[in-house]
Amino acid sequence: AQSVSQHNHHVILSEAASLELGCNYSYGGTVNLFWYVQYPGQHLQLLLKYFSGDPLVKGIKGFEAEFIKSKFSFNLRKPSVQWSDTAEYFCAVKGGRRALTFGSGTRLQVQP
């Protein structure tokens, strides 16, 4: 069975600080990995995805993530956060089944 764990449940940063959100997955085979963002009161938006190839993936709004197969990790990073990045962030994995399995989410609060 596939599973995802996000270690940071609530992160508070000041504007311009760097961000790294942890995501580890459990699945023995080939995976597709995703990061989604959910702004308050809005629906899920895809930030970035990894299917294959270059393990460093760049997404929208300056976000990037690195797939480290040996560590079963897909951490999300952004060099300098903005107040508008305040949102809930979800890591998701697609392994043997077609549906996505989501992590528990990380609430990011950026203080101006």
Partner 1 sequence: GAVVSQHPSWVICKSGTSVKIECRSLDFQATTMFWYRQFPKQSLMLMATSNEGSKATYEQGVEKDKFLINHASLTLSTLTVTSAHPEDSSFYICSAPHRVGGLLAGGNEQYFGPGTRLTVT
**What does the binding site for partner 1 look like in residue numbers (CB under 8 A)?**
32, 34, 36, 43-44, 46, 49, 51-53, 90, 94, 98-105, 107
Helix (H, G, I), strand (E, B) or coil at 80: coil
CB of 76 to partner 1, least distance (A): 15
Q: Where are the alpha helices (DSSP H) in the chain?
A: none
**Smallest gap from residue 59 Cβ to partner 1 (A):** 13
Query: In angstroms, what is the minimal distance from the CB of 27 to partner 1?
Result: 15
Smaller CB separation from partner 1, 81 or 103: 103
Nearer to partner 1, 42 or 80 (CB): 42
Nearer to partner 1, 63 or 105 (CB): 105
Nearest CB to partner 1, comparing residues 11 and 44: 44
- Taking residue 76's Cβ as centre, other Cβ atoms within 10 Å add up to 24
Smallest gap, in angstroms, from Cβ of residue 79 to partner 1?
Answer: 26
Q: What region, left, alpha or beta, does residue 70 occupy, with left being phi > 0 and alpha being psi -120 to 50 degrees? A: alpha
Copy the structure tokens of residue 78: 């952004």
Give CA separation, 103 vs 17, 23, 50, 61, 91, in Å: 24, 8, 16, 21, 5
